[in-house]
Amino acid sequence: MSLLMEVLLGLSAIPPFLVIWRGPSLWDRVCGASSLTVRLALVLAAHAAFSGHGILLDVALSYAVLGFLGTVLVARFGERGER
């Protein structure tokens, strides 16, 4: 049951990959990258809770922070500047 939930959660990271791959504009890709970061952090948290490796929660929190910073960085860069 827990393995099935982890696999389903990991497979739900495929639609953001598709959006990043074929998004026509910069903002579609940034939106897909933000969503992908949240889903991968959730995969890490789920594996930490199910398998008992508590260190993975630290990795998930750091990954969420870095993903948020990257999203805001690319969005602020896209406000002015080249495409």
Partner 1 sequence: MRIFGEILLTLGLAFLWVGGLGMVRFRSPYVRLQVAGVADIGGAALFLLGLILREGWAATGGLTIVLLLFLLFTGPLATHAVAKSAFVRKIRD
Residues that bind partner 1 (CB under 8 A): 1, 5, 8-9, 12, 14-16, 18-19, 25, 27-28, 30-32, 34-35, 38-39, 41-42, 45-46, 48-50, 52, 54, 57-58, 60-61, 64-65, 68, 71-72, 75-76, 78-80
Question: What's the rounded Cα separation, in Å, for the pair 42 and 3?
Answer: 14
Rounded least distance, CB 20 to partner 1, Å: 10
Helix, strand, coil fractions of the chain, as percent rounded to 5: 85, 0, 15
Rounded least distance, CB 15 to partner 1, Å: 3
Question: What's the rounded Cα separation, in Å, for the pair 70 and 60?
Answer: 15
